[in-house]
Structure 1
Amino acid sequence: MLPFFRFSKSLLLLTAIFFASNLASEVKWETSVEEAFTKAKKEGKPIFIDVYADWCGYCKTLKKEIYPKKEVQAEFSNFVLLSLDGDRFPNLKKKYQVSGYPTLLFLDKNGSLTEKIAGMPDRKMVVRTLKLAFSKRDQENVLLSQASKDPENNLILLKLGEYYFEAREYQKAAEYFYKSFASEDPRTPENRHKALFNLGVSFYELKNWEKTVKTFSLYLDKFPTGSAQAAYYFRGAAYKSLGKKSEAESDLKKALELSSNPEEKKEIQDLLKSI
Structure 2
Amino acid sequence: MRPFFPFLPTLIVLTTFFFTNNLFSEVKWESSVEGAFTKAKKEGKPIFIDVYADWCGYCKTLKKEIYPKKEVQAELSNFVLLSLDGDRFPNLKRKYQVSGYPTLLFLDKNGSLTEKIAGMPDRRMVVRTLKSAFSKRDQESTLLAQVSKDPENNLLLLKLGEYYFEAKEYQKAAEYFYRSFASEDPRTPENRHKALFNLGVSFSELKNWEKTIKTFSLYLDKFPTGSAQAAYYFRGSAYKALGKRSEAESDLKKALELTSNPEEKKEIQDLLRSLGSDR
Normalised by the length of structure 2, the TM-score is 0.91
Identity over the aligned pairs, expressed in percent? 90
Point out the structure with max Rg over C-alpha. 2
Report deviation, 1:137: 0.2
Q: Any runs of at least 4 consecutive aligned residues in structure 1 with deviations exceeding 3 A, and if so which? A: 13-23
Report deviation, 1:96: 1.1
Any stretches of 5+ residues in structure 1 without a counterpart?
A: 1-12
Distance 1:126 1:157, change over 3 A: same
Question: Deviations 1:23-52 (Å, cap 9, x if unpaired)?
Answer: 424311123221111110011100001111
Rounded Cα–Cα distance in structure 2 between residues aligned with 1:27 and 1:146: 35
Task: Kindly report which structure 2 residues correspond to 1:185-196, keeping only aligned pairs within 5 A, or say none.
Answer: 185-196=185-196
Rounded Cα–Cα distance in structure 2 between residues aligned with 1:52 and 1:96: 14
Report deviation, 1:99: 1.2
1:151 is matched with 151
The letter of the residue matching 2:104 is L
2:101 is matched with 101
Report deviation, 1:18: 8.6
Rounded Cα–Cα distance in structure 2 between residues aligned with 1:16 and 1:42: 35
Rounded Cα–Cα distance in structure 1 between residues aligned with 2:165 and 2:61: 35
Task: Kindly report which structure 2 residues correspond to 1:51-70, keeping only aligned pairs within 5 A, or say none.
Answer: 51-70=51-70
Name the SS of the counterpart of 1:235 in structure 2: helix
Rounded Cα–Cα distance in structure 1 between residues aligned with 2:152 and 2:22: 50
Report deviation, 1:17: 6.8
Distance 1:58 1:155, change over 3 A: same
1:271 is matched with 271
Task: Kindly report which structure 2 residues correspond to 1:84-99, keeping only aligned pairs within 5 A, or say none.
Answer: 84-99=84-99
Name the SS of the counterpart of 1:54 in structure 2: coil
Any stretches of 5+ residues in structure 2 without a counterpart?
A: 1-12
Distance 1:60 1:22, change over 3 A: closer
Rounded Cα–Cα distance in structure 1 between residues aligned with 2:82 and 2:70: 19
Distance 1:68 1:18, change over 3 A: closer
Question: Deviations 1:211-245 (Å, cap 9, x if unpaired)?
Answer: 00000000000000100111000000000011100
The letter of the residue matching 2:37 is F
Rounded Cα–Cα distance in structure 1 between residues aligned with 2:177 and 2:37: 24
Rounded Cα–Cα distance in structure 1 between residues aligned with 2:118 and 2:218: 39
1:112 is matched with 112
| C-alpha contact 2:259 2:265 (8 A) present in aligned 1 | yes
| C-alpha contact 1:158 1:176 (8 A) present in aligned 2 | yes
Task: Kindly report which structure 2 residues correspond to 1:1-275, keeping only aligned pairs within 5 A, or say none.
Answer: 20-21=20-21, 23-275=23-275
Name the SS of the counterpart of 1:238 in structure 2: helix
| C-alpha contact 2:25 2:68 (8 A) present in aligned 1 | no
Rounded Cα–Cα distance in structure 2 between residues aligned with 1:258 and 1:15: 69
Question: Deviations 1:141-165 (Å, cap 9, x if unpaired)?
Answer: 0000000000000000000000000
Report deviation, 1:102: 0.6
Report deviation, 1:178: 0.2
Rounded Cα–Cα distance in structure 1 between residues aligned with 2:155 and 2:245: 37
CA RMSD of aligned residues (A): 1.7
| C-alpha contact 1:23 1:74 (8 A) present in aligned 2 | no
The letter of the residue matching 2:269 is Q
Report deviation, 1:106: 0.4
1:8 is matched with none
